Amino acid sequence: MKFSALILALAAAVVQADFFRNDFLPVGHVRTDPIINPNSLSDHVHTFYGPPLLYPKVTFDDLRNSDPNLSSGNIMENQSLYWHPAVYHVAADGKKTLQESEMTTVYYNWIPGQTRAFPPGFRMITPGAEVFDEGITPGASEMEINISFQSCWDGIHLDSPDHMSHVDFPEGEGENAPCPPSHPVRIPRLDFFIRWFNTPTAKWRFSDGNQTMHADYISGWDEDFLQSLLDGGDGDVDSKVTFRSGILHQGSDSGLIQQMNANAVPKADTTCITTEIIDNVYDLPRGINNGTLISPYGICGAPVSAPVTSKPTASPTKSPTSSPTVGITSSPTKSPTSSPTVGITSSPTKSPTSSPTVGITSSPTKSPTSSPTVGITSSPTKSPTMAPTKAPSPNEDGVCRDSDTKFTLQSGAMKHCQWVSWDRDARCSKRTLDNKLIADVCPVTCPDPVTEEPVCTPVDNTASFLVNGTSRTCAWANHSNEDIKGDRCGNFVVLANCPVTCEEFI
């Protein structure tokens, strides 16, 4: 009722779009893309915002069930996950240093009464447009990238094969530009504003080496709750949502940034996704088939019952009651009439109600006397880089110890020696994808099949190894409290490295 009444009213009047803002610091950086690559590492490193769930198989339910106190956004009801290619500063010698955005705002823009909330499982990618020019020199008091998502939906598909064709841009400019007939349902328009201050000079690049900025979105909203925000005016939003730790933009960007940093959530632990180094490197890791995904669920040492493998690969799994379906049908491709515009301007001003654009705004350095790199020292903390675990493998150098890394079965499933220990009889005789006998990969776990005696005498690793991203030793595992020791030895990396200390748990 309300819907059609407003449509009629629209014919006569120009409707003012409403908006609210959601402010973020990055929650982490890792080479995954849960929309495009649910089963592998992605082509390039991304910077994420929202809940600290950066693993390839993250789902709508995972987001909804996450602790809002751990999301890097300030609106607790919004458990959506957002990401874009990570941004690097490239030094003269080619060394690439991650540049964490210091303030990222996602504006939700909508026309009350006309706009439908994202249904459960909704996801999309915005194609973006070229924003970095060969010659661009940040060296500015502020650099800002803005990017707008599509705000028209086909009303049916939660996703599509290219993750874009189920959505589209409105036809023409302005808030009230109509949605194309192929994508008649208006959804909130998301505008990202990603900002850096006192940017160092010289080149900046995206992690994909491209000049193009794109961005990805998985909705984590309760549909009815978001709809209630969209049905009301933007004046009601503040009273309906809960601001984490009271973080709220009250007219001052610097005040907001201070508040966000004072209440920053821990960075996502990505060490059970991959341990590759993504900061201060000359060559960024690239390529879907390049590098090792430790776990698509980001879980190290998961028990056998955990969903470590064997899930279907088709991504979205939720079928909402309101009927949209996961789309693997071909939809019409996007009309070029509404493609985003591109530009570099020297104006730092922005309006959250402008039309879809992608751009970079780089304002000149205010004080020519101050060093352009000074501001970087006060930037938010970076995730530490860490070296991948490299424990001696028994069949490579004769050390009698289980492999402390996962291996791939011929079924494609990734497993570890602890998993083998849960059913030695069936598992020790299997082979890995590269045709190694599991008994050879896990010589401590797998006794000689004939004598049933251990094939060698295990020794603890005297070096340190990474557990949950922290460097540990077997002495750490050997806790005097048996329960704590059990917890530590229950981790497959600890178990493999410390077969003597953890003997009673093998």
C-beta of 352: minimal distance to ligand NAG in Å? Answer: 7
Alpha carbon distances (Å) from 221 to 28, 65, 226, 284, 320: 21, 11, 6, 33, 13
C-beta of 358: minimal distance to ligand NAG in Å? Answer: 7
C-beta of 348: minimal distance to ligand NAG in Å? Answer: 9
97 CB neighbour count, 10 Å cutoff? 15
Give CA–CA dist 198/205, Å, rounded: 17
243 CB neighbour count, 10 Å cutoff? 16
Residues near ligand NAG (CB under 6 A) are 64-65, 67-69, 76-77, 79, 127, 146, 208-210, 212, 214, 222, 225, 283, 285-287, 290, 343-345, 350-351, 354, 357, 359-361, 467-468, 478, 480, 487-488, 491, 494, 500-501
Alpha carbon distances (Å) from 412 to 37, 40, 288, 406, 432: 15, 12, 16, 12, 9
Buried (b) or exposed (e) across 27-51, using 16+ Cβ within 10 A?
bbbbbbbbbbbbebbbbbbbbbbbb
| Of residues 112, 87, 114, 89, the one with CA closest to residue 101 | 87
For ligand NAG, which is the closer residue by CB, 213 or 441?
213
C-beta of 228: minimal distance to ligand NAG in Å? Answer: 9
For ligand NAG, which is the closer residue by CB, 146 or 198?
146
Give CA–CA dist 356/192, Å, rounded: 10
- HEC string of 197-257 equals ECCCCCCEEECCCCCEEEEEEECCCCHHHHHHHHHCCHHHHHHHCCEHHHCCCCCCHHHHH
C-beta of 465: minimal distance to ligand NAG in Å? Answer: 11
Give CA–CA dist 260/387, Å, rounded: 30
| Of residues 226, 298, 264, the one with CA closest to residue 71 | 264
